[in-house]
Structure 1
């Protein structure tokens, strides 16, 4: 959005406001603001399935992760190492993982809280924001929470749902749940936080170590050594590879070309043989 519509002021901020919205109502409001700024940008976004970029329409749980393009992260990591031979590139990646696992294993061992530092900071922020909220119980599991400026929220602790949708989408107790915990005189909200944010799970991820390969002279060689030759590759163009053979995303449909002459799909103007009727057909042919 920044590069495509850089002439429009604040377009990137409005896009992220729509993408990060938890409620569909907030998403539609942000999309309306984008339409007022740039109708072309709105048409571009509406042509993309909302499930692929908007949190409010995502069918699963994102755990507050909005970007999943790991290829860009890998390219940034191996920017210089990609120029090396394949074996040296693999050794670079292995040694990098070895360093990461060692560093983060020490970080997890030093953590004394029930939740990870990121989750603890998030919970502390929610508890602080819930200080001025009032709670009215409905049943033993359902509560009505009033904020100073935000709309009323209905929380169901049994289903772990809140009308603000932050509770069920992020799997972390929102400000309304924190207000209920204060209303119940609880010391923490840990039961309302997914176990994936716990320090125990964090430690389990980096419990194993990445071992070095050792000296090549000490490797155990197989009796059946098979020589693998590099694949035969033809001449490749210097431009970016075509995306015609790209694997489609889940729910994405194949786009068919449309003829600008007869407006039928499946062929282009160059091979169109359909007769045209009406005024101007002779000029079109």
Structure 2
């Protein structure tokens, strides 16, 4: 599908190896996380706070974490299920989809599971693997494992869900509190404290600084603005100081006379 839409992108992805971008071929365990954009999300949260002085910015980040930990700690404490609400909903959805599946045992740990479309999946409960790959990738019992649990007359699929989805681990993440710093007048300052002066800043461009500037990705082509007067990139006609060629001047004059 990628080759049809963009052959160049397909050739690039094949060249860097499937383990770099395909979750099914990734050697580690990413659970159900597809991206690593937590840094971008945090930057968006602190977009306005980044304009503040450094001490106020740090206090904003600390107070935000304090609020997050308090809120999520209370939510985790009210959870009465063995798994987190997200994992419970995911597992319930798998159990619902496995209602009409047919299970045929191969050995004590290996099973053959037929879905409604007659597709076959081989499940190994000992190694926690399924030929659909979803079991080992997400570490949550897939629909085929749910069908096996029903075949064995089990009441739940908890033994085949990773412990990191448990409520116990969820509570442990937010068990510690983020403490406030208190009044600055009560802080204990060391005698050998070193004063760090602000860095020497270059002359800043006039106008309000942009809030959307970012570093371009590797290989990314940056689209530059083009001057409508001299047709060179990097500036607009409002600040253009380049001399115009005779052809440009004559064409501009001709266009003006025609309009008149």
Task: Tell me if TM exceeds 0.5.
Answer: yes
Give the structure-2-normalised TM-score.
Answer: 0.75
How many pairs align? 212
Partner of 1:275: none
Q: Which residue of the other structure, out of 103, 109, 115, is the alignment partner of 1:135?
A: 103
- The CA distance in 2 between the partners of 1:66 and 1:138, in whole Å, is 34
Matches within 5 A, 1:86-101: 86-101=54-69
Query: What are structure 2's unaligned runs of at least 5 residues?
Result: 219-260
Which residue of 31, 41, 48 corresponds with 1:80? Answer: 48
- Mapped contact 2:13–2:21 kept (Cα < 8 A): no
Shift of 1:240: 6.1
SS in 2 for 1:92: helix
How is 1:250-261 mapped onto 2 (pairs within 5 angstroms)?
none
User: Secondary structure at the residue paired with 1:99?
Assistant: helix
* Structure whose CA Rg is larger: 2
User: What residue in structure 2 maps to residue 104 of structure 1?
Assistant: 72
Q: 2:176 maps to which residue?
A: 208
Question: Within 2, Cα distance between the matches of 1:152 and 1:242?
Answer: 46
Question: CA RMSD, aligned part only?
Answer: 2.2
- Is residue 126 of structure 2 the alignment partner of residue 158 of structure 1? yes
Please tell me whether residue 183 in structure 1 is matched to residue 151 in structure 2: yes
The aligned residue for residue 194 of structure 1 is: 162
The residue number in structure 2 matching 1:50 is 18
Q: Which runs of 5+ in 1 are unaligned?
A: 1-32, 245-285
2:197 — aligned with what?
Answer: 229
Report SS of the residue matched to 1:221.
coil
Distance 1:240 1:65 in 2: 24
The alpha-carbon deviation at position 211 of structure 1 amounts to 0.6
Q: Deviations over 1:179-199 (max 9, x none)?
A: 000000000010100000000
1:220 matched residue in structure 2: 188
Distance in 2 between the 1:41 and 1:223 partners? 58
SS in structure 2 at match of 1:179: helix
